[in-house]
Amino acid sequence: MRRHLAAIALGLAAAVAMLTPEATAAPAHESRALPKLVAGSYSGIKPRDVYFSGDAGNIVTKIKWNRWTHARAVGHGTSNLQGCLPNCAQGTETPVATSITFSRPRGGHFTKVVEVRAGETLVAHYGRPFWPEGARR
């Protein structure tokens, strides 16, 4: 009888040890928050629109995000190319397919962006010129 009770006690001790916080915590890759886009007053994930300029010269709209992971975010939307004839305010706008990739997460947010539209590539880094000025969910 004592052997039987000792075996039960040993089994219970092992079960309790498996339920400690260390044993039940999610793996590190699951518990980390996804990196955000920080642009102007916007701080979040998967914005619908991203503003590269304050004068509507480069706004990517209707973005559909194919991926938003701990390493990168990849989305596709539309932006308008300004004709600027006779000037940018009165010129025509031509919608073009645009892709955006955010990468190099540091401190909980992305620090690099690559925008491709109409065969041209824009590369910008957080805190430097050409980084998005804002975004909207």
List C-alpha distances in Å: 122 to 12, 56, 72, 96.
61, 16, 17, 15
Q: Is the pLDDT of residue 30 over 60?
A: no
Work out the pLDDT band at 19, boundaries 50, 70, 90.
Answer: very low
Q: Is the pLDDT of residue 58 over 60?
A: yes
Provide the whole-model pTM: 0.75
Q: Is 46 helix (H, G, I), strand (E, B) or coil?
A: coil
Q: Is the pLDDT of residue 11 over 50?
A: no
Spatial distance between the Cα atoms of 98 and 123, rounded to a whole number of angstroms: 13
7 vs 101, more confident: 101
Residue with tokens 């194919």: 66
Spatial distance between the Cα atoms of 64 and 75, rounded to a whole number of angstroms: 5
Nearest to 116 by CA among 70, 76, 56: 76
Give the mean pLDDT of 17-32: 48
Q: Is the pLDDT of residue 36 over 60?
A: yes
